[in-house]
Amino acid sequence: MTVQPHLRDDGPRARAGAILQPYLERSLGVLAAALLLILVGVTCVDVFGRYFLNAPLNGAFEMTEVLLVALVFAALPLTTERREHVEVDLLAFAFGPRMNRALIAFGGLFSAAVFFTFAWRLWIHSAKAASDGAVTNALSIPLAPFGYAAALACFVSALIAILRAFILPVEKSPTPNMEKGTS
């Protein structure tokens, strides 16, 4: 990630914020990769069966839907932590560092409010789906656990957005070999 020079922070708060990334990578990153691998497998089996054996995989569409939901929400906290959400900073160079930091804090807190709202509404919707016994049509996969997982992912993303509102990104320093050159 390239950080704009006026938004760079190499202080102790920024380094402390970088501690979170390895834990998210090892948990949610691995989960997202596994879900993607399963999604690819389901799609390949379905396509092969459909076009070569004239026997598509039963429930492939539902499995794809459920896996895609799980994949998107598993990756949401990672995307928030890496600051990889779509961001428009048209006026970043028009303001000074203090105003830009205030705008970053506002953006992070606003994002957190949106994520908390999503988490709250997803939790309520999932509780209703659980009480109604909502399942998918063909495979009868219960929908509530996926809603609860999505709500939890939104909640974690909200916490990360709050953290990111007050901790600016750290520019990764080059490796020692790159600094010295080869002469």
Question: What pLDDT score was predicted for residue 110?
Answer: 92
Which of these, 123, 175, 164, 166, lies nearest to 147 by C-alpha position?
123
Question: What pLDDT score was predicted for residue 99?
Answer: 83
Q: pLDDT tens, 127-156?
A: 999 999 999 999 999 999 999 999 999 999
Question: What pLDDT score was predicted for residue 10?
Answer: 52
- Alpha helical stretches, state H, the chain: 12-17, 20-24, 30-52, 60-81, 97-132, 144-166, 176-180
Q: Where exactly are the structural domains of the chain?
A: 13-85+95-167
Question: What pLDDT score was predicted for residue 168?
Answer: 63
Question: What pLDDT score was predicted for residue 87?
Answer: 72
Helix (H) or strand (E) holding 81: helix 60-81
Residues of the chain with pLDDT under 70: 1-21, 168-183
